[in-house]
Amino acid sequence: MPAEPFSSSGSLFADAQAVVSPRGIAVWALTSRGSDLARRVAAALNATLFLPEKYAAPSGELPFRLFSSAFPKNFFRFRHHVCVAASGIVVRCVGPLLRDKTLDPGVVVLDQEGRHIVSLVGGHLGGANDMARKVARITGGQAVITTATDTAGLPALDILARESGLVADRPERFAALAAALLDGEIVQVLDPEDCLWTRLREMGSGELFERVPDAGAWRDDRPGLWVSWKRPPVRTDGDPAVLGLHPRCLVAGLGCHRGVSATSITDFVHEVFDKYGLALPSLTALGTVQARSAEPGLHAAVAALGVDVAFFPPDQLQAVRTPNPSETAARLVGTKSVCEAAALLLARTESLIVAKTKGADLTLAVALLDDSGGLCQFKDPFSVSVSVSK
């Protein structure tokens, strides 16, 4: 394999993830007795400790004057918050800060005796349920978990999806599927690559789900999990609780002219994926020729799509055998193929699932990542991050 490409990474929620991607756990207290318990909890969790000025030690404990000011400022700087405080005080502070259940930190509240540890916000994806259980083991108290699937002994699909590397097309539908399970409905599962099915069975939840062998057996009138890099069926008559869960396993090669706009790229990617029934959440990277590495529109498009980007030198692209070579491309950028060759190099495969598709001054090809590693093998020491402004 030739030398690796120059690469760059971007994310649709880069600014939010940068602050949530953590410094870990923050522990808060408001009273003298609560501060004593908070010190014990923080030590056990290796957490950052915030205490009122009059209780904070000169070193190792961060003082604050007003909880109502300090907590919002630090909310997105930690993945978890453990508050030794009345739940009402914390609720009034945290309510206006909440953005999205996939991004918000988990918040746990406990009384100053450590008897009741309540998972308040972000029970599943925020990790508050697990954190409440950890704190309960430290204090000898009782974790209070109110999420319905946990109390009913049902699988937390949002956590399973995240742990399995799957991206939800409509995260709000997790709640609808949980409601279907709680109502005793059997949820159909289309999972041709077995991204999730085996895990469901190993958890002892197989009787709650029915695996369908292929798209032809899918029933539009039943709730279901569509686990694939292909897009789920689109309905316009109020479909039931159907959630697409998509592995990040598609890469695309892009050919573009100088001065290309971000909108033209993102619109074209959407157009091609819609045309061929591909799930956009499965897209994990774009690749193109090194000559386009300074294009601001391309970097903005990468950030908007939430994918990585890699830039290949012309000789590396030229060495790849492709179905649709172009003499025009060879004359302009020094290689007969940009989009198809870039897609094949990124995927480390020899076949395309979408050959070169032409748009207005753009071309796109799509490939499926090779199971042996594909994109994850790129380890360019000169990689940089794309900044995202929102």
Is pLDDT of 313 > 70? yes
Pair type for strands 187-190 and 224-227 = parallel
Determine, yes or no, domain membership for 142: yes
Residue 3 inside a domain? The answer is no
* Residue 12 within any structural domain of the chain: no
Does residue 56 carry a pLDDT above 60?
yes
Q: Are residues 238 and 264 in the same domain?
A: no
Asked whether residue 376 is domain-assigned, the answer is yes
Give the amino acid at 310.
A
172 in the same domain as 132: no
Q: Are residues 268 and 330 in the same domain?
A: yes
Q: Report if residue 6 sits inside a domain.
A: no
Q: Domain of 316? A: 250-385
Compute CA distances 191 → 200, 227, 249, whole Å: 11, 5, 14
The pTM for the full model equals 0.71
267 and 242 within one domain? no
* DSSP codes of every residue in 42-77: HHHHT-EEEEETTT--TTTSEEES-HHHHHHHHGGG
CATH of the domain at 284: 3.30.420.180
What is the domain-level CATH number for residue 21? 3.40.50.11220
Does the structure show a pLDDT above 50 at 373? Answer: no
Give the pLDDT confidence of 245-255 residue by residue, as tens digits: 999 999 999 99
122/105 Cα distance (integer angstroms): 6
Average pLDDT over the chain, rounded to an integer: 86
Q: Rounded to whole angstroms, what are the CA distances from 273 to 140, 256, 266, 279, 374?
A: 53, 17, 11, 7, 21
Using the 3D structure, point to which of 218, 247, 276 is the last residue of a domain.
247
Can you give the pLDDT at residue 378?
A: 37
Q: Tell me the pairing of strands 80-84 and 106-110.
A: parallel
